[in-house]
Protein backbone atom coordinates (compact mmCIF):
# COMPACT_ATOMS: atom_id res chain seq x y z
CA UNK A 1 0.00 0.00 0.00
CA UNK A 2 1.27 3.45 -0.74
CA UNK A 3 1.65 5.32 2.54
CA UNK A 4 0.21 8.76 3.14
CA UNK A 5 2.50 11.21 1.44
CA UNK A 6 4.17 8.47 -0.62
CA UNK A 7 4.05 8.57 -4.40
CA UNK A 8 0.80 7.72 -6.09
CA UNK A 9 0.79 5.04 -8.75
CA UNK A 10 -0.01 6.10 -12.31
CA UNK A 11 -1.06 3.17 -14.51
CA UNK A 12 -0.47 4.60 -17.94
CA UNK A 13 -0.47 3.58 -21.61
CA UNK A 14 -2.93 0.69 -21.33
CA UNK A 15 -6.45 0.08 -22.57
CA UNK A 16 -8.65 0.79 -19.53
CA UNK A 17 -11.85 -1.29 -19.32
CA UNK A 18 -13.73 0.64 -16.63
CA UNK A 19 -17.03 -1.28 -16.23
CA UNK A 20 -18.37 2.10 -15.04
CA UNK A 21 -22.04 3.02 -15.63
CA UNK A 22 -21.26 4.01 -19.23
CA UNK A 23 -19.09 0.90 -19.67
CA UNK A 24 -16.32 3.10 -21.04
CA UNK A 25 -13.27 1.51 -22.62
CA UNK A 26 -10.46 4.05 -22.91
CA UNK A 27 -7.53 3.57 -25.27
CA UNK A 28 -5.30 4.87 -23.96
CA UNK A 29 -6.67 5.38 -20.50
CA UNK A 30 -5.05 6.04 -17.16
CA UNK A 31 -5.71 4.94 -13.60
CA UNK A 32 -4.23 6.66 -10.55
CA UNK A 33 -4.05 4.70 -7.29
CA UNK A 34 -3.66 6.82 -4.17
CA UNK A 35 -3.45 4.91 -0.89
CA UNK A 36 -6.25 2.35 -0.79
CA UNK A 37 -8.41 4.15 -3.36
CA UNK A 38 -8.71 4.96 -7.04
CA UNK A 39 -8.06 8.68 -7.45
CA UNK A 40 -8.69 8.74 -11.19
CA UNK A 41 -9.87 6.38 -13.95
CA UNK A 42 -10.40 7.97 -17.33
CA UNK A 43 -8.85 9.16 -20.57
CA UNK A 44 -5.05 9.38 -20.40
CA UNK A 45 -5.10 12.94 -21.73
CA UNK A 46 -7.15 14.25 -18.81
CA UNK A 47 -5.34 12.43 -15.99
CA UNK A 48 -4.27 14.85 -13.21
CA UNK A 49 -0.68 13.62 -13.30
CA UNK A 50 1.89 14.80 -10.76
CA UNK A 51 5.65 14.84 -11.26
CA UNK A 52 6.23 12.48 -8.36
CA UNK A 53 3.67 9.85 -9.45
CA UNK A 54 5.27 6.42 -9.74
CA UNK A 55 4.56 5.23 -13.29
CA UNK A 56 3.51 1.67 -14.11
CA UNK A 57 3.93 1.18 -17.86
CA UNK A 58 0.75 -0.54 -19.09
CA UNK A 59 1.39 -0.35 -22.82
CA UNK A 60 0.32 -3.66 -24.36
CA UNK A 61 -1.97 -4.36 -21.38
CA UNK A 62 -5.62 -4.13 -20.37
CA UNK A 63 -6.33 -2.40 -17.05
CA UNK A 64 -9.60 -3.42 -15.41
CA UNK A 65 -11.36 -3.97 -12.09
CA UNK A 66 -10.43 -7.13 -10.20
CA UNK A 67 -12.83 -10.01 -10.80
CA UNK A 68 -15.43 -11.03 -8.19
CA UNK A 69 -15.93 -14.73 -7.42
CA UNK A 70 -19.51 -15.05 -6.16
CA UNK A 71 -19.21 -18.59 -4.84
CA UNK A 72 -16.37 -20.81 -3.67
CA UNK A 73 -14.79 -22.70 -0.78
CA UNK A 74 -11.13 -21.70 -1.08
CA UNK A 75 -9.72 -24.10 1.52
CA UNK A 76 -11.09 -27.10 -0.36
CA UNK A 77 -8.64 -26.51 -3.20
CA UNK A 78 -6.53 -28.93 -1.15
CA UNK A 79 -8.78 -31.76 -2.45
CA UNK A 80 -8.65 -30.94 -6.15
CA UNK A 81 -8.33 -33.99 -8.38
CA UNK A 82 -9.66 -36.56 -5.91
CA UNK A 83 -13.22 -37.02 -7.25
CA UNK A 84 -13.12 -37.19 -11.03
CA UNK A 85 -15.61 -38.43 -13.62
CA UNK A 86 -18.21 -39.78 -11.22
CA UNK A 87 -21.86 -40.35 -12.09
CA UNK A 88 -24.37 -37.73 -10.98
CA UNK A 89 -25.31 -38.26 -7.30
CA UNK A 90 -22.08 -40.12 -6.69
CA UNK A 91 -19.84 -37.08 -6.87
CA UNK A 92 -20.93 -35.53 -3.59
CA UNK A 93 -20.89 -38.90 -1.87
CA UNK A 94 -17.34 -39.50 -3.14
CA UNK A 95 -16.17 -36.07 -2.00
CA UNK A 96 -17.69 -36.32 1.45
CA UNK A 97 -16.60 -39.93 1.84
CA UNK A 98 -12.97 -38.92 1.37
CA UNK A 99 -11.27 -39.85 4.62
CA UNK A 100 -9.13 -36.73 4.36
CA UNK A 101 -11.98 -34.27 4.50
CA UNK A 102 -12.77 -34.95 8.16
CA UNK A 103 -9.12 -35.03 9.13
CA UNK A 104 -8.04 -31.62 7.90
CA UNK A 105 -6.92 -29.73 11.03
CA UNK A 106 -8.09 -26.18 11.70
CA UNK A 107 -4.65 -24.71 10.95
CA UNK A 108 -4.71 -26.64 7.68
CA UNK A 109 -8.04 -25.04 6.74
CA UNK A 110 -6.27 -21.75 7.25
CA UNK A 111 -3.44 -22.88 4.98
CA UNK A 112 -5.87 -24.18 2.34
CA UNK A 113 -7.79 -20.90 2.32
CA UNK A 114 -4.55 -18.92 2.08
CA UNK A 115 -3.39 -21.09 -0.83
CA UNK A 116 -6.78 -20.78 -2.55
CA UNK A 117 -6.79 -17.00 -2.10
CA UNK A 118 -3.33 -16.81 -3.66
CA UNK A 119 -4.56 -18.89 -6.61
CA UNK A 120 -7.49 -16.51 -7.06
CA UNK A 121 -5.37 -13.37 -6.72
CA UNK A 122 -2.88 -14.73 -9.27
CA UNK A 123 -5.83 -15.20 -11.64
CA UNK A 124 -7.04 -11.61 -11.12
CA UNK A 125 -9.83 -12.37 -8.63
CA UNK A 126 -9.73 -9.64 -5.98
CA UNK A 127 -12.98 -10.39 -4.13
CA UNK A 128 -14.69 -13.63 -3.20
CA UNK A 129 -17.66 -15.04 -1.31
CA UNK A 130 -16.39 -17.99 0.72
CA UNK A 131 -18.28 -20.35 2.95
CA UNK A 132 -17.74 -23.62 4.75
CA UNK A 133 -17.11 -25.28 8.08
CA UNK A 134 -14.11 -24.17 10.19
CA UNK A 135 -14.73 -20.78 8.66
CA UNK A 136 -13.02 -18.97 11.53
CA UNK A 137 -9.75 -20.50 10.33
CA UNK A 138 -10.43 -20.02 6.61
CA UNK A 139 -11.31 -16.37 7.25
CA UNK A 140 -7.87 -15.85 8.81
CA UNK A 141 -6.25 -17.41 5.75
CA UNK A 142 -8.22 -15.25 3.33
CA UNK A 143 -7.44 -12.15 5.38
CA UNK A 144 -3.72 -12.94 5.50
CA UNK A 145 -3.65 -13.37 1.71
CA UNK A 146 -5.02 -9.85 1.29
CA UNK A 147 -8.06 -10.73 -0.82
CA UNK A 148 -11.46 -9.04 -0.28
CA UNK A 149 -13.87 -11.63 1.11
CA UNK A 150 -17.36 -12.13 2.47
CA UNK A 151 -17.18 -15.19 4.72
CA UNK A 152 -20.02 -17.35 6.05
CA UNK A 153 -19.92 -20.31 8.43
CA UNK A 154 -22.06 -23.11 7.02
CA UNK A 155 -25.27 -23.95 8.88
CA UNK A 156 -27.01 -27.32 8.58
CA UNK A 157 -29.44 -29.03 10.93
CA UNK A 158 -31.03 -31.89 8.98
CA UNK A 159 -28.29 -34.51 9.29
CA UNK A 160 -25.61 -32.67 11.27
CA UNK A 161 -25.50 -30.67 14.48
CA UNK A 162 -26.29 -26.98 14.04
CA UNK A 163 -23.29 -24.68 14.63
CA UNK A 164 -25.15 -21.42 15.11
CA UNK A 165 -22.81 -20.24 17.90
CA UNK A 166 -19.80 -20.52 15.60
CA UNK A 167 -21.61 -18.67 12.82
CA UNK A 168 -22.55 -15.84 15.18
CA UNK A 169 -19.05 -15.73 16.68
CA UNK A 170 -17.76 -15.23 13.13
CA UNK A 171 -20.24 -12.38 12.63
CA UNK A 172 -19.03 -10.81 15.90
CA UNK A 173 -15.39 -11.22 14.90
CA UNK A 174 -15.59 -9.73 11.39
CA UNK A 175 -18.79 -7.68 11.41
CA UNK A 176 -21.09 -7.21 8.43
CA UNK A 177 -19.90 -3.81 7.14
CA UNK A 178 -19.41 -4.12 3.35
CA UNK A 179 -16.69 -1.46 3.57
CA UNK A 180 -14.50 -3.89 5.57
CA UNK A 181 -12.20 -5.90 3.32
CA UNK A 182 -13.15 -9.09 5.16
CA UNK A 183 -16.66 -9.21 6.56
CA UNK A 184 -19.31 -11.72 7.36
CA UNK A 185 -22.45 -13.19 5.85
CA UNK A 186 -24.80 -15.97 6.96
CA UNK A 187 -24.45 -19.32 5.22
CA UNK A 188 -27.36 -21.76 5.44
CA UNK A 189 -26.07 -24.75 3.47
CA UNK A 190 -29.04 -25.56 1.19
CA UNK A 191 -32.82 -26.01 1.37
CA UNK A 192 -32.52 -29.81 1.71
CA UNK A 193 -29.87 -29.77 4.45
CA UNK A 194 -31.57 -27.02 6.49
CA UNK A 195 -34.98 -27.43 8.09
CA UNK A 196 -37.69 -24.91 7.22
CA UNK A 197 -37.39 -23.61 10.79
CA UNK A 198 -33.65 -22.95 10.36
CA UNK A 199 -34.21 -21.14 7.05
CA UNK A 200 -36.76 -18.89 8.78
CA UNK A 201 -34.35 -18.29 11.66
CA UNK A 202 -31.64 -17.23 9.21
CA UNK A 203 -34.02 -14.65 7.74
CA UNK A 204 -34.56 -13.20 11.22
CA UNK A 205 -30.81 -13.23 11.97
CA UNK A 206 -30.06 -11.48 8.69
CA UNK A 207 -32.42 -8.72 9.80
CA UNK A 208 -30.77 -8.45 13.21
CA UNK A 209 -27.14 -8.53 12.03
CA UNK A 210 -27.35 -6.85 8.63
CA UNK A 211 -25.54 -9.86 7.12
CA UNK A 212 -26.21 -11.00 3.57
CA UNK A 213 -27.29 -14.59 3.07
CA UNK A 214 -25.35 -17.10 0.96
CA UNK A 215 -27.11 -20.39 0.22
CA UNK A 216 -26.73 -23.30 -2.22
CA UNK A 217 -29.97 -23.80 -4.14
CA UNK A 218 -31.29 -26.30 -6.71
CA UNK A 219 -27.84 -27.79 -7.15
CA UNK A 220 -28.67 -31.47 -7.56
CA UNK A 221 -31.37 -33.93 -8.49
CA UNK A 222 -31.04 -35.42 -5.04
CA UNK A 223 -31.76 -32.08 -3.36
CA UNK A 224 -34.97 -31.59 -5.34
CA UNK A 225 -36.14 -35.14 -4.55
CA UNK A 226 -35.49 -34.62 -0.83
CA UNK A 227 -37.45 -31.36 -0.88
CA UNK A 228 -40.36 -33.04 -2.60
CA UNK A 229 -40.41 -35.44 0.34
CA UNK A 230 -40.87 -32.39 2.60
CA UNK A 231 -43.73 -31.07 0.48
CA UNK A 232 -41.82 -28.40 -1.46
CA UNK A 233 -42.21 -28.10 -5.23
CA UNK A 234 -38.63 -26.95 -5.82
CA UNK A 235 -35.71 -25.39 -3.98
CA UNK A 236 -36.49 -21.77 -4.88
CA UNK A 237 -40.11 -22.23 -3.72
CA UNK A 238 -38.78 -23.67 -0.46
CA UNK A 239 -36.67 -20.53 0.11
CA UNK A 240 -39.67 -18.39 -0.83
CA UNK A 241 -41.87 -20.18 1.72
CA UNK A 242 -39.24 -19.50 4.40
CA UNK A 243 -39.01 -15.81 3.45
CA UNK A 244 -35.45 -16.40 2.34
CA UNK A 245 -35.54 -14.82 -1.12
CA UNK A 246 -34.56 -11.16 -1.49
CA UNK A 247 -31.98 -8.69 -2.74
CA UNK A 248 -29.72 -9.61 0.20
CA UNK A 249 -29.65 -13.30 -0.77
CA UNK A 250 -27.15 -14.99 -3.11
CA UNK A 251 -28.36 -18.40 -4.26
CA UNK A 252 -25.57 -20.50 -5.74
CA UNK A 253 -26.23 -22.79 -8.72
CA UNK A 254 -30.02 -22.70 -9.39
CA UNK A 255 -29.68 -25.48 -11.98
CA UNK A 256 -33.06 -27.10 -11.34
CA UNK A 257 -35.47 -24.16 -11.53
CA UNK A 258 -38.66 -23.81 -13.59
CA UNK A 259 -40.04 -20.64 -15.17
CA UNK A 260 -42.20 -19.82 -12.16
CA UNK A 261 -39.17 -20.07 -9.87
CA UNK A 262 -37.10 -17.90 -12.23
CA UNK A 263 -39.85 -15.30 -11.95
CA UNK A 264 -39.73 -15.57 -8.14
CA UNK A 265 -35.96 -14.93 -8.24
CA UNK A 266 -36.51 -11.91 -10.48
CA UNK A 267 -39.44 -10.46 -8.51
CA UNK A 268 -37.58 -10.70 -5.21
CA UNK A 269 -34.25 -9.39 -6.56
CA UNK A 270 -32.49 -12.55 -5.38
CA UNK A 271 -28.98 -12.94 -6.82
CA UNK A 272 -27.82 -16.12 -8.53
CA UNK A 273 -24.18 -17.21 -8.27
CA UNK A 274 -23.84 -19.17 -11.50
CA UNK A 275 -21.12 -21.84 -11.39
CA UNK A 276 -21.20 -23.42 -14.86
CA UNK A 277 -18.02 -25.53 -14.70
CA UNK A 278 -18.99 -27.08 -11.37
CA UNK A 279 -22.57 -27.77 -12.54
CA UNK A 280 -21.30 -29.41 -15.73
CA UNK A 281 -18.66 -31.43 -13.96
CA UNK A 282 -20.59 -32.87 -11.05
CA UNK A 283 -24.16 -32.75 -12.29
CA UNK A 284 -23.75 -32.91 -16.09
CA UNK A 285 -26.20 -30.03 -16.40
CA UNK A 286 -26.28 -26.31 -17.19
CA UNK A 287 -28.43 -23.74 -15.39
CA UNK A 288 -30.98 -21.84 -17.52
CA UNK A 289 -29.00 -18.61 -17.32
CA UNK A 290 -30.27 -17.05 -20.54
CA UNK A 291 -33.85 -17.45 -19.26
CA UNK A 292 -32.85 -15.91 -15.93
CA UNK A 293 -31.27 -12.89 -17.61
CA UNK A 294 -34.31 -12.46 -19.86
CA UNK A 295 -36.56 -12.48 -16.78
CA UNK A 296 -34.37 -9.85 -15.12
CA UNK A 297 -32.60 -12.03 -12.55
CA UNK A 298 -29.24 -10.66 -11.36
CA UNK A 299 -26.57 -13.25 -12.17
CA UNK A 300 -22.98 -13.29 -10.90
CA UNK A 301 -20.28 -15.89 -11.61
CA UNK A 302 -18.64 -18.35 -9.26
CA UNK A 303 -15.93 -20.95 -9.68
CA UNK A 304 -17.23 -23.10 -6.80
CA UNK A 305 -14.58 -25.17 -5.06
CA UNK A 306 -11.56 -26.35 -6.99
CA UNK A 307 -12.39 -30.10 -6.75
CA UNK A 308 -15.38 -29.55 -9.07
CA UNK A 309 -13.76 -27.19 -11.57
CA UNK A 310 -10.66 -27.89 -11.23
CA UNK A 311 -9.43 -24.40 -10.56
CA UNK A 312 -10.52 -20.94 -9.56
CA UNK A 313 -10.13 -18.86 -12.73
CA UNK A 314 -13.05 -16.57 -13.58
CA UNK A 315 -11.71 -15.99 -17.10
CA UNK A 316 -12.26 -19.71 -17.70
CA UNK A 317 -15.65 -19.39 -16.04
CA UNK A 318 -16.78 -16.57 -18.35
CA UNK A 319 -16.00 -18.73 -21.37
CA UNK A 320 -17.73 -21.77 -19.89
CA UNK A 321 -20.78 -19.68 -18.95
CA UNK A 322 -20.97 -18.25 -22.46
CA UNK A 323 -20.67 -21.59 -24.23
CA UNK A 324 -22.97 -23.60 -21.95
CA UNK A 325 -25.47 -20.74 -21.85
CA UNK A 326 -25.69 -20.75 -25.64
CA UNK A 327 -26.12 -24.53 -25.73
CA UNK A 328 -28.69 -24.66 -22.92
CA UNK A 329 -30.80 -21.88 -24.48
CA UNK A 330 -30.31 -23.15 -28.04
CA UNK A 331 -29.43 -19.57 -28.92
CA UNK A 332 -25.96 -18.66 -30.17
CA UNK A 333 -26.70 -14.98 -29.54
CA UNK A 334 -27.39 -15.51 -25.83
CA UNK A 335 -24.94 -14.29 -23.16
CA UNK A 336 -22.91 -11.77 -25.17
CA UNK A 337 -19.28 -11.22 -24.13
CA UNK A 338 -19.96 -7.84 -22.52
CA UNK A 339 -22.64 -9.44 -20.35
CA UNK A 340 -20.25 -12.18 -19.23
CA UNK A 341 -17.73 -9.52 -18.27
CA UNK A 342 -20.36 -7.72 -16.18
CA UNK A 343 -21.26 -10.96 -14.41
CA UNK A 344 -17.60 -11.41 -13.40
CA UNK A 345 -17.12 -7.82 -12.20
CA UNK A 346 -19.86 -5.24 -11.47
CA UNK A 347 -22.66 -7.73 -11.03
CA UNK A 348 -20.49 -9.92 -8.81
CA UNK A 349 -19.84 -6.86 -6.64
CA UNK A 350 -23.57 -6.08 -6.51
CA UNK A 351 -24.35 -9.68 -5.54
CA UNK A 352 -21.85 -9.49 -2.67
CA UNK A 353 -23.14 -6.07 -1.61
CA UNK A 354 -19.74 -4.44 -2.16
CA UNK A 355 -20.52 -2.46 -5.32
CA UNK A 356 -20.02 0.88 -3.55
CA UNK A 357 -16.39 -0.16 -3.06
CA UNK A 358 -15.41 -2.57 -5.86
CA UNK A 359 -16.42 -4.05 -9.22
CA UNK A 360 -15.52 -1.13 -11.49
CA UNK A 361 -12.75 1.41 -12.02
CA UNK A 362 -14.16 4.71 -10.73
CA UNK A 363 -12.63 7.49 -8.67
CA UNK A 364 -13.38 7.02 -4.99
CA UNK A 365 -13.73 3.23 -5.09
CA UNK A 366 -11.20 0.99 -3.41
CA UNK A 367 -8.23 0.26 -5.65
CA UNK A 368 -9.00 -3.36 -6.57
CA UNK A 369 -7.29 -3.24 -9.95
CA UNK A 370 -5.73 -5.81 -12.28
CA UNK A 371 -3.46 -5.46 -15.30
CA UNK A 372 -3.74 -8.12 -18.00
CA UNK A 373 -0.81 -8.70 -20.36
CA UNK A 374 -1.63 -9.05 -24.04
CA UNK A 375 1.73 -10.48 -25.07
CA UNK A 376 0.50 -14.06 -25.63
CA UNK A 377 0.21 -14.87 -29.33
CA UNK A 378 -3.33 -16.13 -28.82
CA UNK A 379 -4.30 -12.55 -27.96
CA UNK A 380 -3.18 -11.15 -31.34
CA UNK A 381 -4.83 -9.03 -32.67
CA UNK A 382 -7.02 -7.19 -30.16
CA UNK A 383 -10.19 -6.16 -31.97
CA UNK A 384 -12.69 -6.43 -29.14
CA UNK A 385 -11.50 -6.18 -25.51
CA UNK A 386 -14.71 -7.69 -24.08
CA UNK A 387 -14.51 -10.71 -26.40
CA UNK A 388 -10.81 -11.15 -25.58
CA UNK A 389 -11.52 -11.03 -21.83
CA UNK A 390 -14.51 -13.39 -21.98
CA UNK A 391 -13.07 -15.96 -24.36
CA UNK A 392 -9.29 -15.73 -24.83
CA UNK A 393 -7.62 -14.30 -21.74
CA UNK A 394 -6.58 -16.77 -19.03
CA UNK A 395 -5.75 -16.16 -15.39
CA UNK A 396 -2.09 -16.68 -16.24
CA UNK A 397 -2.20 -13.50 -18.36
CA UNK A 398 -2.78 -11.39 -15.23
CA UNK A 399 0.45 -9.48 -14.52
CA UNK A 400 -0.36 -7.08 -11.67
CA UNK A 401 -3.01 -7.14 -8.94
CA UNK A 402 -3.89 -4.56 -6.28
CA UNK A 403 -6.46 -4.93 -3.51
CA UNK A 404 -7.18 -1.83 -1.42
CA UNK A 405 -4.23 -0.25 -3.23
CA UNK A 406 -1.88 -2.94 -1.94
CA UNK A 407 0.25 -4.36 -4.74
CA UNK A 408 -0.22 -8.10 -4.09
CA UNK A 409 0.83 -9.62 -7.43
CA UNK A 410 3.66 -7.90 -9.30
CA UNK A 411 4.97 -9.30 -12.56
CA UNK A 412 2.93 -12.47 -11.92
CA UNK A 413 4.55 -13.12 -8.50
CA UNK A 414 3.01 -12.55 -5.07
CA UNK A 415 4.82 -9.69 -3.31
CA UNK A 416 3.96 -10.83 0.21
CA UNK A 417 4.36 -14.60 0.10
CA UNK A 418 7.24 -17.05 -0.17
CA UNK A 419 5.79 -19.35 -2.85
CA UNK A 420 8.33 -22.12 -2.23
CA UNK A 421 7.48 -22.15 1.47
CA UNK A 422 3.79 -22.26 0.56
CA UNK A 423 4.37 -25.31 -1.64
CA UNK A 424 6.43 -26.99 1.07
CA UNK A 425 3.63 -26.41 3.60
CA UNK A 426 1.05 -27.97 1.23
CA UNK A 427 3.31 -30.99 0.85
CA UNK A 428 3.67 -31.22 4.63
CA UNK A 429 -0.12 -31.16 5.09
CA UNK A 430 -0.55 -33.99 2.60
CA UNK A 431 2.27 -36.04 4.09
CA UNK A 432 0.53 -35.78 7.44
CA UNK A 433 -2.93 -36.60 6.04
CA UNK A 434 -1.71 -39.61 4.09
CA UNK A 435 0.48 -40.78 6.92
CA UNK A 436 -2.27 -40.57 9.51
CA UNK A 437 -4.76 -42.40 7.30
CA UNK A 438 -2.41 -44.66 5.34
CA UNK A 439 -4.14 -43.46 2.19
CA UNK A 440 -2.76 -43.68 -1.33
CA UNK A 441 0.82 -42.45 -1.65
ZN1 LIG B 1 -20.61 -24.53 -2.95
**DSSP secondary structure letters along 77-109:** GGGTTSS-SPPTTHHHHHHHH-TTGGG--HHHH
pTM for the full predicted model: 0.97
Instruction: Give the Å distance between the CA of 273 and the centre of ligand 1.
Output: 10
* Residue 148, strand partner residues: 127
Give pLDDT, residue 112: 97
CB atoms within 10 A of CB 43: 14
Instruction: Give the Å distance between the CA of 303 and the centre of ligand 1.
Output: 9
Instruction: Give the Å distance between the CA of 253 and the centre of ligand 1.
Output: 8
Instruction: Give the Å distance between the CA of 400 and the centre of ligand 1.
Output: 28
Instruction: Give the Å distance between the CA of 396 and the centre of ligand 1.
Output: 24
Instruction: Give the Å distance between the CA of 216 and the centre of ligand 1.
Output: 6
Instruction: Give the Å distance between the CA of 304 and the centre of ligand 1.
Output: 5
Instruction: Give the Å distance between the CA of 215 and the centre of ligand 1.
Output: 8
> Do 287 and 251 meet the contact criterion of CB atoms below 8 Å apart?
no
Instruction: Give the Å distance between the CA of 78 and the centre of ligand 1.
Output: 15
Instruction: Give the Å distance between the CA of 283 and the centre of ligand 1.
Output: 13
Instruction: Give the Å distance between the CA of 131 and the centre of ligand 1.
Output: 8
Instruction: Give the Å distance between the CA of 410 and the centre of ligand 1.
Output: 30
Instruction: Give the Å distance between the CA of 427 and the centre of ligand 1.
Output: 25
In three-state secondary structure terms, 252 is strand
Cα(282)–Cα(284) distance, rounded to whole angstroms? Answer: 6
Instruction: Give the Å distance between the CA of 146 and the centre of ligand 1.
Output: 22
Give pLDDT, residue 5: 52
Give pLDDT, residue 102: 85
Strand pairing class (61-65; 54-57): unpaired
Instruction: Give the Å distance between the CA of 201 and the centre of ligand 1.
Output: 21
> Which residue pairs, CB below 8 angstroms and at least 24 apart, start in 392-397?
393/62, 393/315, 394/313, 394/315, 394/316, 395/122, 395/123, 395/124, 395/311, 395/313, 395/314, 395/315, 395/316, 396/122, 396/123, 397/315, 397/372, 397/373
Instruction: Give the Å distance between the CA of 360 and the centre of ligand 1.
Output: 25
Instruction: Give the Å distance between the CA of 144 and the centre of ligand 1.
Output: 22
3-state helix, strand, coil in the chain (%, to 5): 40, 20, 35
Nearest to 409 by CA among 73, 60, 67, 12: 67
In three-state secondary structure terms, 145 is helix
> Do 278 and 83 meet the contact criterion of CB atoms below 8 Å apart?
no
Write the DSSP symbol of residue 248: T
Give the contacts of 269 (CB within 8 A, at least 6 positions apart): 246, 247, 298
Give pLDDT, residue 155: 98
Give pLDDT, residue 101: 86
Strand pairing class (15-17; 61-65): parallel
Give 294-323 pLDDT, tens digit per residue.
999 999 999 999 999 999 999 999 999 999
Instruction: Give the Å distance between the CA of 186 and the centre of ligand 1.
Output: 14
Instruction: Give the Å distance between the CA of 294 and the centre of ligand 1.
Output: 25
Give pLDDT, residue 441: 46
Instruction: Give the Å distance between the CA of 314 and the centre of ligand 1.
Output: 15
Give pLDDT, residue 1: 47
Instruction: Give the Å distance between the CA of 51 and the centre of ligand 1.
Output: 48
For the chain, list residues with pLDDT below 50: 1-4, 441
Instruction: Give the Å distance between the CA of 198 and the centre of ligand 1.
Output: 19
Instruction: Give the Å distance between the CA of 310 and the centre of ligand 1.
Output: 13
> Do 315 and 337 meet the contact criterion of CB atoms below 8 Å apart?
no
Instruction: Give the Å distance between the CA of 227 and the centre of ligand 1.
Output: 18
Cα(323)–Cα(314) distance, rounded to whole angstroms? Answer: 14
Amino acid sequence: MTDAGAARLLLTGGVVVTLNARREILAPGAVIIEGPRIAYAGPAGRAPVRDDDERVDCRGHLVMPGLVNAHTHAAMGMFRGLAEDRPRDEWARTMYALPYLDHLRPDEYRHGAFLGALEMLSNGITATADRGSFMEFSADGLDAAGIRAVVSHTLFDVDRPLELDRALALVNRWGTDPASRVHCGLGPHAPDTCSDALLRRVRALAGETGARVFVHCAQSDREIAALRGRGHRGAVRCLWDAGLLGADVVAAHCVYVDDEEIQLLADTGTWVAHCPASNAKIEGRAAPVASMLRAGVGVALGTDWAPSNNGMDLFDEMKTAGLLGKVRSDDAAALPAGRLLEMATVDGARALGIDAHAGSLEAGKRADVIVVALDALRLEPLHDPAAALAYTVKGQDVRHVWVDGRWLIRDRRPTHVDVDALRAETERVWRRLRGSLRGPA
